[in-house]
Amino acid sequence: MSIDSLKAIIGLGNPGREYAVSRHNAGFMVADRLVESCSGSWKKGHGKGVTAKIEIAGRSVLVGKSHTFMNLSGSFVQAQMAFYRLEPQDVLIVYDEMDLPLGKIRMARGGGTAGHRGMESIVAAAGRKDLPRLRIGIGKPEGERDVVGFVLDRFSPEERFVLDAVLAEAEAAARTWIACGIESAMNRHNAFSLPGEADKEVLD
């Protein structure tokens, strides 16, 4: 694998079976889909986490999952960037976002963290905010429900039905980013809506 041509996709989440299907692990879920669909295999990565080397559109791609827990994700991302000599624009961070409703995704060139602890850790470690990111909407807790409990809880059966379609679109967005770049990925995938949702938004 040529390091010079390498791109990286890092999914954020928490390690451990108890968190595997929680809302906070949406980034892990996208990473798992990519590796499985490309017949890759997870191995111990540099730093505390796992990585898999796959190929998308003729490009070498490193997929990673940090095992430092969400709030310390920056050390794992920094370790991959240092070892593989990755530039910020070559690293796509995939993670959950409460400010987006379930059923939406957003690709962006960079930006703030919106209070997401994983992204805060990565921005602090990298010393910059211009890492591309793909945010997976999980919505916000209703009423006075605890935010931490909400993000660490599992998706409901109804949410899982929506999530499957969203994860498929997120995987496609990551592939577009590899093949065509950030602009094409934003144009093709940021307007994603579930069947019937676009008509519903017009009526609202």
Query: Do 36 and 121 meet the contact criterion of CB atoms below 8 Å apart?
Result: no
* Residues whose CB falls within 8 Å of the CB of residue 90, separated by 6 or more in sequence, listed in order: 6, 7, 8
* Residues whose CB falls within 8 Å of the CB of residue 192, separated by 6 or more in sequence, listed in order: 104, 105, 166, 169, 173
Cα gap 40→95, rounded to integer Å: 21
Q: Which residues are catalytic?
A: 24
